[in-house]
A = this chain, B = another copy of it.
């Protein structure tokens, strides 16, 4: 991308899109196959929230929006909850998901300040 593009915004957008991607794949192609506690409504809705806010946060960042702090703040809060919830599970797929959520939460927290 051209020089005018802010590197921090771009890096944070990347973390949001990575988290969006791994949470989407994990939920629809892993949790739904596993069933049981992987599809409990509470976990379920939190994963949806995470996918939703990561997409939105990325959209604000890619737009170079002046309001990205507001969406990064919401994203950091929700991704952190999702990271904690995914870390409860004892399998590599959920761990990978928790890692992506945690990375995204940290970068968004920084960008919201």
Chain A residues with CB under 8 Å of chain B are 1-2, 4-5, 10, 13, 17, 21-22, 24-26, 28-30, 32-33, 39, 41, 44-46, 48-49, 52-53, 55-56, 59-60, 62-67, 70-71, 73-74, 77-78, 81, 93
Contact = CB atoms under 8 A, between A and B. Distances in A.
Given A2-B30, A48-B63, 20 more contacts: A1-B29, A5-B25, A5-B29, A28-B45, A28-B63, A28-B64, A29-B63, A29-B64, A32-B45, A45-B65, A45-B66, A46-B67, A49-B65, A49-B66, A49-B67, A52-B60, A53-B67, A56-B56, A67-B81, A70-B77
Q: How many copies does the complex hold?
A: 4
9 contacts: A1-B22, A2-B29, A4-B29, A5-B29, A45-B65, A45-B66, A46-B66, A48-B63, A56-B56
